[in-house]
């Protein structure tokens, strides 16, 4: 009988940005490898913070996505993504996931964030003596403190909860070695329980859309140097800095056009800025093929983070950026995981965050180097994806972490054992 793995996470397909593509991709790959992988997830809502059409707030529903059995449990979705409302959403999701029918899994994988739903599920697993892996995509409390959402006693309490939860799990999977170092140093998670499984690219290597046509479709002229930021529009992205850079470009005559694609709770404010800021525009989310084409149609791909972010996350957009083969500009702290990734991939340059003048200068420098060398510079991203960020390597590493938790009498899938 195939080893049974239950994956529980708030975000899943059809969401196509953030954590969801990785949870869905891993569940699908594990089933292909011979695991009996099943999923309990929430209502699709990210990054728009609005439930997708056709999904009910009132009842649980079963569906199958790419061969994976999925149970969706209902929960509230806050429209403003405030911390207290998000906490309420997590708790409701966690309670409904914990009280749903699990079957009899050999192991449970919980995806964090969301931390509180994961902690609730951990209690249910402990009662049934089911081993748990926490799959850490962001360090929850580091994010709260670095974005200013929590400090002082509140931050210490939250940190204690996260530390206790992670130390209670039989295994912890992180997406970067920097996270592993942080969990050992700051949260006393034993090193023997931590595995690093890198996120992989999930966009098409060869999109079918015509990039020249895309530029015309969105009104980008031949002389426009398009600086494209994709994904969530929230506090940690600090995208008002990008609007300020567009204003600098307008005043100085720089041929830059700053474009945001995606959604998030700060999108309305950014759309208002776009209405009064030349060279700055906000586009809606697009399908996967158009997204892959847009990355290749742009001249520079942008990661922009709030000043002070040094520990909390590795933007999932970087894997897609590297695959696109375009130069990457990162307005991030020098000590951040994003900066480390950019340097390791040799895929672009870093400038100081929160400095619109530096953002403009960096974009111009990067584009000028790219043109002067015929696109030879900053081309390491695709090689890095092939050597470090492949889906196959991620599945093998995750399978290894899962097998370590299986009861001795349970047989792991042969495909996973011999991959």
H/E element, 318: helix 317-324
First to last CA, the chain: 19
Instruction: State the pLDDT at residue 419.
Output: 38
Global model pTM greater than 0.85: no
Residue 326 CA to residue 146 CA, distance in Å, equals 29
Residue 233 CA to residue 354 CA, distance in Å, equals 15
Residue 81 CA to residue 83 CA, distance in Å, equals 6
Instruction: State the pLDDT at residue 416.
Output: 45
How many CB atoms are closer than 10 A to CB 215?
19
Range 4-200+390-417 has CATH code 3.30.200.20: no
What would the 3-class secondary structure string for 171-191 be? EEEECCHHHHHHHHHHHCCCH
Instruction: State the pLDDT at residue 409.
Output: 57
Residue 177 CA to residue 182 CA, distance in Å, equals 9
The yes-or-no answer to whether 4-200+390-417 and 211-383 have a common fold is yes
How many CB atoms are closer than 10 A to CB 268?
12
Spatial CB neighbours of 130, under 8 Å, sequence gap ≥ 6: 105, 106, 107, 108
- Using alpha carbons, select from 1, 9, 160, 17 the residue that is nearest to residue 75: 9
Answer whether 18's CB lies under 8 Å from 118's CB: no
Distances (CA, A) of 84 to 89, 150, 172, 183, 419: 9, 11, 26, 25, 44
Answer whether 264's CB lies under 8 Å from 242's CB: no
Spatial CB neighbours of 418, under 8 Å, sequence gap ≥ 6: none
Q: What average pLDDT values come out for the chain (419 residues) when binned by 10 residues?
A: 93 91 95 96 90 86 96 90 82 97 96 92 96 92 66 80 94 92 92 93 74 92 95 90 97 97 90 95 87 93 91 78 92 92 93 97 95 83 86 92 80 52
Say which CATH architecture domain 211-383 belongs to.
3-Layer(aba) Sandwich (3.40)
- Residue 23 CA to chain centroid, in angstroms? 10
H/E element, 339: helix 337-345
Instruction: State the pLDDT at residue 139.
Output: 84
Instruction: State the pLDDT at residue 146.
Output: 65
Residue 357 CA to residue 168 CA, distance in Å, equals 46
Please state whether the peptide bond connecting residue 47 to the residue before it is cis, i.e. omega within 30 degrees of 0. yes
- As given in the structure block, the two tokens for residue 376 are 């030879």
The domain spans of the chain are 4-200+390-417, 211-383
Instruction: State the pLDDT at residue 143.
Output: 66
Residue 21 CA to residue 14 CA, distance in Å, equals 8
Residue found under tokens 């799959």: 135
- As given in the structure block, the two tokens for residue 392 are 């196959």
Task: Compute the half-sphere exposure of residue 51: CA atoms within 13 Å on the CB side of its CA.
Answer: 17
How many CB atoms are closer than 10 A to CB 207?
20
């Amino acid at each position: 009988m195939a080893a049974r793995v239950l994956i529980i996470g708030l975000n899943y397909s059809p969401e196509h940005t953030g954590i969801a593509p990785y949870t869905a991709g891993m569940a699908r790959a594990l089933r292909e490898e011979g695991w009996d992988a099943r999923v309990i997830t929430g209502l699709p809502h990210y990054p728009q913070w609005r439930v997708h059409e056709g999904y009910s707030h009132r009842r649980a529903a079963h569906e199958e996505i790419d061969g994976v059995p999925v149970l969706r449990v209902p929960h509230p979705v806050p429209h403003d993504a405030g911390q207290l409302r998000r906490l309420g959403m997590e708790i409701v999701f966690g309670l409904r996931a914990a009280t749903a029918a699990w079957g009899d899994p050999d192991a449970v994988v919980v995806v964090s964030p969301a931390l509180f739903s994961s902690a609730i599920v951990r209690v249910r697993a402990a009662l049934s003596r089911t081993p748990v892996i926490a799959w850490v995509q962001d360090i929850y409390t580091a994010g709260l403190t670095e974005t200013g959402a929590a400090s002082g006693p509140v931050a210490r309490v939250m940190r204690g909860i996260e530390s206790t939860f992670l130390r209670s799990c039989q295994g912890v999977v992180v997406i970067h070695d920097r996270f592993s170092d942080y969990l050992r140093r700051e949260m006393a998670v034993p090193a023997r329980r931590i595995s690093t499984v890198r996120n992989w690219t999930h966009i098409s290597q060869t999109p079918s859309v015509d990039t020249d046509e895309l530029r015309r479709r969105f009104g980008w002229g031949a002389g426009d140097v398009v600086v494209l930021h994709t994904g969530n529009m929230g506090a940690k992205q600090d995208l008002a800095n990008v609007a300020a850079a567009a204003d600098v470009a307008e005043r100085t005559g720089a041929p830059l056009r700053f474009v945001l694609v995606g959604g998030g709770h700060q999108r309305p404010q950014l759309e208002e800025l776009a209405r009064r800021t030349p060279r700055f525009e906000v586009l809606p989310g697009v399908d996967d093929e158009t997204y892959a084409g847009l990355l290749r149609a742009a001249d520079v791909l942008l990661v922009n983070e709030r000043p002070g972010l040094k520990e909390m996350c590795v933007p999932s957009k970087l894997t897609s950026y590297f695959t696109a083969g375009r130069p990457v500009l990162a307005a991030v702290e020098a000590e951040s995981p994003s900066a480390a990734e950019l340097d390791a991939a040799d895929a672009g340059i870093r400038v100081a965050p929160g400095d619109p003048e530096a953002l403009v200068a960096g974009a111009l420098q990067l584009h000028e180097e790219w043109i002067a060398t015929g696109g030879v510079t900053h081309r390491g991203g695709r090689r890095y994806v092939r050597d470090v960020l492949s889906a196959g390597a991620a599945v093998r590493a995750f399978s290894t972490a899962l097998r370590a938790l299986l009861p001795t009498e349970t047989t792991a899938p042969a495909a996973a054992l011999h991959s």
